Amino acid sequence: MEGYSSIEEAAALVQSGQRIFGHGSACTPNIFYSALAKRARELENVELVSITQQGPVEIANPEYAGSFHIRSLFTSEPVRKAVNGENGDYVPIFLSGIPHLFRNGILPLDVAVVTVSPPDEHGYCTLGTSIDCAQTAVHTAKTAIAIVNPNMPRTYGDSAVHKSRFAKMVWHDAPLITLDYGAKVTDVERKIGQNVAEIIDDKATLQMGIGTIPDAVLKSLSNHKGLGIHTEMLSDGVIDLIEKGVVTNAHKGFNNYKTVTSFSFGTKKLYDFLHNNPIVSFYNVELVNSPAMILRNKRMHAINSAVEVDLTGQVCADSIGTYQFSGIGGQMDFMTGAAYSEGGKPIIAISSRTNKGIPRIVPVLNPGAGVVTTRGHVHYVVTEYGTVNLFGKGLKERAKALISIAHPDDREALTKAAYERFKVSNL
């Protein structure tokens, strides 16, 4: 199209030794990565910095080691092999802290590549479904490149970027990457959703993590009243709650009448819902995930999941043993904010076992497992077998409580492990 560059012209701006930022989730610029891959023989030590990536992410493939290095701030499936191998690494960091890395030169960016909606009559594009740390990246990088996709919704909040900011703009009309967690929800997860819903108060402000359990929770809230949303990530489950009047955002006490988020990821239905929708406001993740901002919401309920929880309440949410699976993300940001919110509830919701039958409530975390939420921060833990509140409880009391919501077939072994540790027989 007239006035736009080719993807090859845009990719030509990247030079060896540079650090590039890649937009995340539905905005992942895979067309740009493929163009860079074609230049692999002439490039070396180009580093990709990003949070959740989706799609093929060609430059993360092993054959491009040496040309490209993956520095993941939140690991997702397309880059896990690289991160856990020789041509990648993972940076443990709260999501709210990532903009600080860019702005203060800890991870200075040479190039930022973002997917945006087309410019309006004033020349402003929007960062669409993912503002998160991309807003800071696009304004602090030496060079910014835009992949302009007419399917990207125009979003409100701090999403606007003027076209003059971009050294190159590439027109790319393609469907956005989608994800449908609702289609994957199991009966176990539905029961967890129901159990979580029982401890969610009317007029609560909600943060939901990503995955099937948060989706199951949202589906269980249709009888609640006056809920609000202040969340790192927005998914399809909120649409019905907003349209049915369950979510009104009228009682938050902060940013009333607005659904507040940092990024969204889901189906085309969600993206269509977000397009030109003024009731949803996207803000920089350092604001959305700031505990100081989160706690200003009344009755803040933070609902997150985990890989495993040990008998003292330590929560591993980012790794499977030493294998880096995801990231710290915003879990601790919201667990902390919810704990200090008036009437708030920090909630960890997990299935008692994995789909392969591996226990999630364990005597001790797997060797090398990362502690995301400490036992000093944990409050509610929910499984399909019930709900316990660990806040204020001693180690022995915590063990007894967690055993009560573990899988029945795991309780004998957990009780034995608790006795060996605490030398108490009446757990």
> Active-site residues: which are they?
232
Taking alpha carbons only, the member of 50, 22, 34, 19 closest to residue 113 is 22
Rounded Cα–Cα distance for residues 97 and 86 (Å): 26
Pairing between strand 205-208 and 156-157? unpaired
Rounded Cα–Cα distance for residues 318 and 321 (Å): 9
Angle of CA points 15, 16, 21, to nearest 5°: 70
Under 8 Å between Cβ of 59 and 47:
no
Helix ranges (H only) for 252-330 are 268-274, 285-288, 291-294
Q: How many residues does the chain have?
A: 427
Give the count of beta carbons closer than 10 Å to the beta carbon of residue 237.
22
| Contacts (Cβ under 8 Å, ≥6 apart) of 76 | 52, 53, 54, 326
Taking alpha carbons only, the member of 324, 336, 311, 332 closest to residue 419 is 311
For tokens 């797997």, the residue is 366
- By CB atoms closer than 10 A (0-12, 13-18, 19+), residue 283 is buried
